[in-house]
Amino acid sequence: MQFKKSAVIGGGLALIALLGVYLGFALHYQDTMLPHTTFAGVAVGGMKVADAQAKIKANTLDKQYVLDDQDKQVATFTGNSVGTFQDVGKDLVALKKDQNPWAWPAALVGGEATAADDSTHSLKLDKKKVDTFANQTVAKLNQGRTQTTNASIAKKDGEFVITKETYGNALDKTKVANLVTKMVSTGQTKADLKSTYVRPTVTAGSAKLQSDLTTLKKLSTVKGTYSIAGDSVTIPEHLIKNSVYYKDGSIEVNPSVFSDFLAQLATKYNTIDKTRTFKTTNSGTVSVPAGTFGWSIQQSSEADALAATIKKGEDFTRHPLVSGSGQSFHGSEVGKTYVEVSKAKQHMWVYIDGVEKISTDVVTGKPKQDTPSGAFFVWSKQRNATLKGLNDDGSKYASPVSYWMPIDYTGVGLHDSPWQPQYGGDWYKEHGSHGCVNTPPTVMAQLYSIVPAGTPVIIY
């Protein structure tokens, strides 16, 4: 019995002793960090806030950090050089407040109380200073290094092929900045720069690259044809093939490749500045100089439109973009609807769809104010206009007309002339117009009603 009593007493005393130890450490950790506490990679367990703050400063801001590359030291820096705007003391107080001093046994056997990469308990650096250091370091170390390139598509022997990516050892500024931040924040004093090498973002196995290659090959074999003035003109296959290219991950068609080809078409087919032959009603075939009638290929706009058409990837036939009037896709640009004026015969004929609708004598300009010869077109139609100009003696005139159809841009046109007592013959030599084609009022009313704007007017 005596033995059992002593054992009980001994056990009680041991329990009291353990309780005393527990309470003693619990009271101790009321003012200090729990065991294994770290901040920014610095062990501060069992330390008061002020002491921890001093240690952190000595072990981070004043500490030297080393950057290696391929087992060679290439750069060093201190925590101070990359700066900090953090109130470490305040953050340590917050950290201490989050700790439970009564749980010190768990901290003692459970490892670090604060993980090294815990962003709430790591050093916050000055991003501008970190970036400055990273930029300067990378600029210096990248000299002479091999650049990384993405896989792409290029032409080889006239055919599109995929070029593989290459792996260099040039450094990435953002990755270096992130590495520096991690080192100081976690207390890592040495790191290898290999993890900061620039890496390809596009590889030869890229699905997009494979798809783009297929598209480029398809575009290179597109066949194109122009329908122009009754002719079918094949666009040279080598021009289409040469126009297709690949740049910065984008499929493009270069319009400038077609510049010379379109210039040749314009020389051959443009009519705005050409003398043309015309089969008259009863004077045979005559040569008619250029006037306002005619068209020309809009070469720059057409090159862009052609490139856009090729980019669709389908065989095509198109009409070129033109400016002017009278473009025909079937040959004869004058067509079967036109106005014909013979100055020698002082006569006008009007044909609608190849059928003569009007045949009338007219009065053209006086010999000194001759009506211009040429191929023109009706570019406007106006009712009840007043024609103004100068007489032979320099005085001004203003002649009201019921129908006005200008055909050039100097004031020449077709109109009624109620002041003329007669038409045809030699009357024009003494009583002719200032260049317009004077037409009998009743005939002019008919002409105005059946001739649409845009109709060719051939004067010879």
Q: Are 171 and 141 in contact (CB under 8 A)?
A: yes
- Predicted pLDDT at 6: 58
Least Cα distance to 337 among 238, 457, 200 occurs for 457
The one-letter amino acid code at 45 reads G
**1-54: per-residue pLDDT in tens?**
555 555 556 566 677 877 777 787 778 889 898 998 888 778 899 999 999 888
Q: Count of residues for the chain? A: 460
| Mean pLDDT score, 80-98 | 81
Mean pLDDT, the chain, whole residue set: 90
**170-191: per-residue pLDDT in tens?**
999 999 999 999 998 887 899 9
Q: Helices (H) and strands (E) in the chain — how many of each?
A: 13, 25
- Cα distances from 274 to residues 44, 271, 285, 454, in angstroms, run 95, 5, 16, 18
Where along the chain do the CATH 2.40.440.10 domains lie? Answer: 338-459
- Provide the H-helix boundaries in 29-126: 49-56, 79-82, 88-98, 104-109
Where along the chain do the CATH 3.10.20.800 domains lie? Answer: 208-275+291-325
Instruction: Show which residues are catalytic.
Output: 415, 436
- Predicted pLDDT at 115: 39
Which residues make Cβ contacts (< 8 Å) with residue 146, sequence separation at least 6?
A: 166, 168, 169, 170
Distance CA 437, CA 361 (A): 10
Distance CA 185, CA 354 (A): 92
| Mean pLDDT score, 299-322 | 97
Chain position carrying tokens 């619990």: 26
Chain position carrying tokens 């009037």: 325
**231-282: per-residue pLDDT in tens?**
999 999 999 999 999 999 999 999 999 999 999 999 999 999 899 999 999 9
Q: Structure pTM?
A: 0.67
Q: Are 38 and 106 in contact (CB under 8 A)?
A: no
Superfamily of domain 338-459: L,D-transpeptidase catalytic domain-like (2.40.440.10)
Where does the pLDDT of residue 56 fall: very low under 50, low under 70, confident under 90, or very high at 90 and above? Answer: confident
- Provide the H-helix boundaries in 142-206: 173-186
- Cα distances from 243 to residues 10, 219, 253, 318, 359, in angstroms, run 99, 9, 5, 18, 54
- Predicted pLDDT at 121: 58
Chain position carrying tokens 């690259």: 209
- The CATH number corresponding to 208-275+291-325 among 3.40.50.700, 3.10.20.800, 1.10.287.130, 1.10.760.10 equals 3.10.20.800
Number of neighbours of residue 196 by Cβ within 10 angstroms:
25
Distance CA 377, CA 457 (A): 5
Least Cα distance to 387 among 361, 420, 413 occurs for 413
Token duo for residue 54: 């001093």
**360-394: per-residue pLDDT in tens?**
999 999 998 999 999 999 999 999 999 988 877 77
- Predicted pLDDT at 251: 97
Token duo for residue 23: 């309470």
Distance CA 355, CA 353 (A): 6
Number of neighbours of residue 315 by Cβ within 10 angstroms:
10
